[in-house]
Chain A
Amino acid sequence: MSALHPVIRFYRWFFFRARGDSPFKRLLIHLALIFASLIAVYPVLRVVTISLRPNDTLLTTSLRIIPENATLENYRAVLFGEPEKHRQSDFFLWLWNSFSVVIVTSIISVALAALSAYAFSRFRFPGRNPALVFLFTTQMIPAGMLLLPLFVMLVRLKMINTSLGLIIAYSVSSVPLTIWTLKGYYDTIPLDLEEAALIDGASRMQVLTRIILPLSSPALAIAFLFSFMGGWSEYLVARVVLQKNELFTWPLGIFTYAQQFTVSWGKFAAASVLIAIPVMALFLYSSKWLISGLTLGSVKG
C-alpha cells in the first residue's frame, strides 16, 4: 500500500473513502447547501440593502449588499418621523394596533380551545364525533370564503372599521385550528394521572386546572404562538375590515409607504426590517416547538 504514489492515495481518499461520505461528496453537499442558503437569504438581504440606501440612489442597478453611502436615514424616518417635513411617524401606532388585535384573538381562541379540546379528548358525549368531523372540515374552508358574509355582518353590526371587527374576523380561522392542535396534545397525556387524582378525591374541574393545564403549558404556548403568528402579518382580511388610517395594522401601514404619491421604498424596507427582525428571531427560536405543534395537530394518514 505504501508503495502507491501520494497523489493516487489522495485521489482514493478523496473520492472513495471507505467509511461515511467521501470528502468530495461532502464538498458537493456543502456547496449545494451554501447555494440553497444563498437563495433563501438573498431576497431578505436585498431588503436590508434597500433600507440602507440614501434616498437619491434608491433606484439603481447595483447588486451590492452594503450600498455606497449607506445611511440609517430611512430607519430614523420610520421610527421618529420627519420633523423637518412636520410628518409624524405612525410606525408604533401600527404596531400597537396589530398587537392589540392579535393578542386578544390569541387569548380568546386559546381560552375557548383549552377547555373544549379537553372535553373532546377525554369524554365520549353524544354529538362529539360530528363536532370533530365538522372541525376537521373547517380546516378545509378557505379563509377568504367566509370573509364576505362576515364583512356584511360586521357592516350591519356597525363593527366595520373597528379593531373589534378585526378580532372577530381573525377568530374565525384561529379558533378551530387551536382546538384541533390542543386536542392532539391532550390525547398524548396519559389517563393514569387523572384517574389517580380522581381516586384521591379531586373533582373534574380540579383535574383540569391542577393537572392537565399545567402539564400542557408547552402546547398552550404553541397554540398561542400559532394564532399570534397567523394574525400578526395578515394583510387581506385587515384590508377589508379596516379603512381608517389610525386603525391600520402594520401590514396595511407599510403598504401606505408603497402607495404614496412618491413610493418610499427606502422607508418601506426599513420598516420591514424593523418588524421582521423580532418576528424572525421569535420564529427561529421557537421553530422546534412550532414544528412539533404542526405534527401534533395533523391527522395520522
Chain B
Amino acid sequence: MARKYFPVALWATIVLALYFLLRALFQPHLSGISLTPQIVMARAQEIALFVLAIAAGIGMVELYLYQIFFRAPRSRLTNALVRLIQAISALFAFQLIVLFFNLTDLFRLPEGALKAFFSMPLTLGSWLRERLLQSNLVSQENASLVSNLLLSGIGIALFILIHQMTQPRTSRLGFAYLLVAPAFIGVLFLIVYPFLFEIKLAFSNASLGTQATKNASYGLIYGWENLKTLFTGNVAKDAKFLEVFWRTILWTVINVTFHVTGGMILALLLHRPMKLQGFYRTLLVFPWAIPTTIAAMALRNEFDLRYGFFNIMLSNIHNFFSDLASQAGMLAPAFGWLAAHIGPVSWKQDPFWAFVSVLITNIWLGIPFMSVVILGGLQSISHEYYEAAEMDGASKWQMFRHITLPLLRPVLTPAIILGVIWTFNKFDVIYLITQGGPQEKTDILVSSMYKAAFQFYRYGFTAMFALVIFLILLAFTVIYLRVTGGLKSTTE
C-alpha cells in the first residue's frame, strides 16, 4: 500500500534537490551554500579525464589482443614483422608495469643498467621532448603534451600498420578473452597487486617512523618480529590477540544467531494471509534501508548516560519498581530487589555493557535482511506439503521441523555463511559507536587491524595481522566448501 507512494516521494525529493542545486549554482552568495559551479566543473573535468585515461589504456590492450586473436599475417615476411612489432609493444607494456611496481615500492630496482632498461619508455618520452625543444618546433609548456601525442600517434600508426599487413581470421575463444581482459586488468590492479604488496609489507618494519615504505627495511626477521608481536604483544594498543579473537567469535556467533532466529520469527509471523502485511514489511526493513553510518550514530546517542533512550527507559523502570516497593506490602522485597538491580547502565565506561550496546545495534541492523531472505524462502515452499502433513495429523512443530527447515536449507545455508563472513568483517558499527573502547574491550579483529594501521601507524605489523585474519577466513571457507561441496556450483 505504502509502496505505491514511494515513486512519488522519490520524484518529489529529486525535483526538490534539483531546485536547490540549481538555485545554489546560480546564486551561490544568496543561498549560503559552498558548492559552486566552479567546483562542480573542476571535479567533472578531473573525473572525465581519469575515465578517459582508463578507457584509452583498456582500448589499447583490447586492440592489441584483437589483432593477436583475429588477424592472421598474410605471408612469412609480414608474419615476422608483425610478431616483432607485437613483441616490442609487449616488452614496452612489461617495462611500464615494472616501472609502476617500482614507483609504488613493491620492489626497488637497483640503480644502473636494470633500472635504465626498465625506464626506457620514460627516457624515450623525455628524449623526444628534448629533441622537440631543441628544434624549436614547440614551446616549453606544450612540449610534453606534443611528445605524448606523438608517441600515441606512433602507437596508433603501428596498429594500423599491423592491420594492413594482416587478414581477418576466426577465433573460437578470442572473443571471450577480449571480454574478460578489462575486468582482468582491473582485478589485477585492484586486488592481486595490493595483496602481493600486503605480503611484502608483512615482512617489513614499515611504520610512521619509516615514512611508510620509504625507508622501511624488509626481511624474514621483520616478518617473524611482526608475528611474534601479534601473538604475544598488543594488537592495537592494549588488547591481546587471543582476547580479541575470542571476542570476534563471540561477536559473530551472537550476531548471526540473533539475526537468524529474529529473522525466522518475523518471517514466520508474516508468512500467512493477513491484512497490513505490506505495511509491516515496509516498516520492518527500516533498519536495513537506513544508511549504516546514520543508524550507528543515531544509536550511539541513545546509549548516552543521561539523555539516551535506553537509560531513560531503565531509570523509568527503576523508579516504577522502587515506587511499588514502597507501597506494596507483601511483595515489597521482590520489587525492592528488582529496583536495586534494574537501573541506568554506563554504556560507555563498562566494557560489558559497551559490548552489549554494539551487539544490540548490530542485531537491530541485521535482522531485516535475514527475515526478508527467509520470507522469500518460505514463499517458495509449496502449500501441498503442509496440507499432506495436516492430513497425517502432524503438529505445527513437526511441520516446522520436518518440512519448513529442510526446505529452507538452500536459502538458509548461503545466507548464514554470508552472514558469518559479513559479521566477522563488519566493524563500522563498533568503530562508530565505541571506537573499540573502553580500553579496546569491544574491539574485534578487523577493527583492531584498522586502528593499528590508521591510528597507530604500525604498517608492517598490520599487514601481518591482515594476512592472519585472511588465513582464518580462508580456513573457514575451505571447511565450509568441503562440507557442502559448494565449489562445484561456482564453476558450473
Interface of A toward B, CB cutoff 8 Å: 20-21, 26, 29-30, 32-33, 36-37, 39-44, 46-47, 50, 59-61, 63, 79-83, 87-93, 96-97, 100, 104, 107-108, 111-113, 115-116, 118-120, 122-123, 125-126, 128-129, 131-153, 155-157, 162-164, 167-168, 171-172, 175-176, 179, 204-205, 208, 232-236, 239-240, 246, 251, 254-255, 258, 265, 268-269, 272, 275-285, 287, 291, 294-295, 298-301
Classify the interface of chain A: helix, strand, loop or mixed. helix
Given A140-B474, A152-B201, A172-B191: A36 in contact with B6 (beta carbons within 8 A): no
Whether a CB of chain A sits under 8 angstroms from the CB of B1 is no
Complex alpha-carbon distance, A43 and B313, angstroms? 14
Whether a CB of chain A sits under 8 angstroms from the CB of B220 is no
Whether a CB of chain A sits under 8 angstroms from the CB of B487 is yes
Complex alpha-carbon distance, A277 and B286, angstroms? 11
Minimum CB distance partner of A79 in chain B = B20
Which residues on A sit within 8 Å (CB–CB) of B324? none
Q: Are A144 and B307 in contact (CB under 8 A)?
A: no
Classify the interface of chain B: helix, strand, loop or mixed. helix
User: Lowest 5 A-B CB distances belong to which pairs?
Assistant: A233-B291, A81-B32, A116-B183, A123-B176, A301-B413
Q: Are B266 and A36 in contact (CB under 8 A)?
A: yes
Q: Are A276 and B291 in contact (CB under 8 A)?
A: yes
Q: Are A258 and B197 in contact (CB under 8 A)?
A: no
Complex alpha-carbon distance, A239 and B184, angstroms? 28
B167–chain A nearest beta-carbon distance, Å: 17
Given A93-B35, A149-B195: A144 in contact with B446 (beta carbons within 8 A): yes
Which residues on A sit within 8 Å (CB–CB) of B191? 138, 141, 146, 172, 176
Whether a CB of chain A sits under 8 angstroms from the CB of B128 is no
A3–chain B nearest beta-carbon distance, Å: 31
Whether a CB of chain A sits under 8 angstroms from the CB of B17 is yes
Complex alpha-carbon distance, A264 and B197, angstroms? 41
Which residues on B sit within 8 Å (CB–CB) of A153? 104, 193-194, 197
Q: Which listed residue (B276, B289, B474) contacts A137, Cβ 8 A? A: B474
Q: Are B183 and A61 in contact (CB under 8 A)?
A: no
Q: Are A89 and B32 in contact (CB under 8 A)?
A: yes
Whether a CB of chain A sits under 8 angstroms from the CB of B383 is no
Chain B residues 290-327 with CB under 8 Å of chain A are: 290-295, 297-299, 301-302, 306-307, 309, 312
Given A92-B33, A240-B454, A281-B13: A129 in contact with B491 (beta carbons within 8 A): yes
Question: Which stretch, B119-127, B153-161, B350-358, B420-428, touches the partner chain A?
Answer: B420-428
Complex alpha-carbon distance, A47 and B307, angstroms? 13
Complex alpha-carbon distance, A294 and B368, angstroms? 14
Q: Are B450 and A236 in contact (CB under 8 A)?
A: yes
Which residues on A sit within 8 Å (CB–CB) of B417? 301
Q: Are A40 and B6 in contact (CB under 8 A)?
A: no
Whether a CB of chain A sits under 8 angstroms from the CB of B47 is yes
B75–chain A nearest beta-carbon distance, Å: 27
Q: Which of B201, B206, B286, B466 has the most CB of A within 10 A?
A: B286
Which residues on A sit within 8 Å (CB–CB) of B302? 43, 46
Chain B residues 177-199 with CB under 8 Å of chain A are: 177, 179-180, 182-184, 186-187, 190-191, 193-195, 197-198
Q: Are B477 and A137 in contact (CB under 8 A)?
A: yes
Count of residues in B whose CB is under 8 Å from the partner chain: 121
Q: Which listed residue (A29, A116, A251) contacts B293, Cβ 8 A? A: A251
Complex alpha-carbon distance, A91 and B288, angstroms? 24
Given A29-B274, A88-B32: A287 in contact with B285 (beta carbons within 8 A): yes
Minimum CB distance partner of B212 in chain A = A152
Complex alpha-carbon distance, A257 and B479, angstroms? 45
Q: Which listed residue (B186, B301, B446) contacts A50, Cβ 8 A? A: B301
Q: Are B176 and A156 in contact (CB under 8 A)?
A: no
Given A91-B33, A167-B50, A235-B428: A40 in contact with B368 (beta carbons within 8 A): yes
Which residues on B sit within 8 Å (CB–CB) of A143? 425
Whether a CB of chain A sits under 8 angstroms from the CB of B105 is yes
Whether a CB of chain A sits under 8 angstroms from the CB of B431 is yes
B272–chain A nearest beta-carbon distance, Å: 7
Q: Which listed residue (A93, A137, A144, A276) contacts B39, Cβ 8 A? A: A93
Given A89-B33, A123-B173: A21 in contact with B272 (beta carbons within 8 A): yes
Chain B residues 424-477 with CB under 8 Å of chain A are: 424-425, 427-428, 431-432, 446, 449-450, 453-454, 459, 462-463, 466, 469-470, 473-474, 477
Q: Are A108 and B51 in contact (CB under 8 A)?
A: yes
Cross-chain pairs A/B with CB under 8 angstroms, 27 sampled: A44-B290, A60-B307, A79-B20, A79-B33, A90-B35, A92-B21, A93-B34, A96-B35, A119-B176, A142-B446, A142-B473, A144-B449, A145-B466, A156-B105, A164-B50, A175-B190, A232-B291, A233-B294, A240-B454, A268-B297, A272-B297, A272-B298, A278-B10, A282-B10, A294-B373, A295-B373, A301-B417
